[in-house]
Amino acid sequence: MSHNFQPGDLALTLKSGWGFEAMTTVTLDVFLRKGEAAQEPDLRLFTPKYDGWVVYQGDESDSGFFRAEHLMPLRGGDFTHEQQKAKEAV
């Protein structure tokens, strides 16, 4: 499922990982493709093994990396599809 995320969007983590529990609110920072290197704040290089979003909570020192499908957008318009599925299930 594509959510058309953009940097600065808020999202919920759907899986635990990178020190974040599932259902944690995070801010999306930058999208990285598999193998695309990025410099971390401590000057180390991070090279992801899959496409995904660098996310953070609070200050940017609490960061992680999640596949887009492991994030749920926190924007009103993006919940329409999920709300419709919930209504159909009832």
Tens digits of residue pLDDT in 29-48: 999 999 999 998 789 999 99
Q: Is 74 helix (H, G, I), strand (E, B) or coil?
A: coil
- Tokens encoding 10: 């808020």
Q: What is the pTM of this model?
A: 0.76
Host domain of residue 14: 10-89
Asked whether residue 3 is assigned to any structural domain, the reply reads no
- pLDDT per position as a tens digit, 53-76: 999 998 767 889 999 999 999 986
**Count of domains observed in the chain:** 1
Asked whether residue 22 is assigned to any structural domain, the reply reads yes
- How many angstroms separate the CA atoms of 31 and 29, rounded? 7
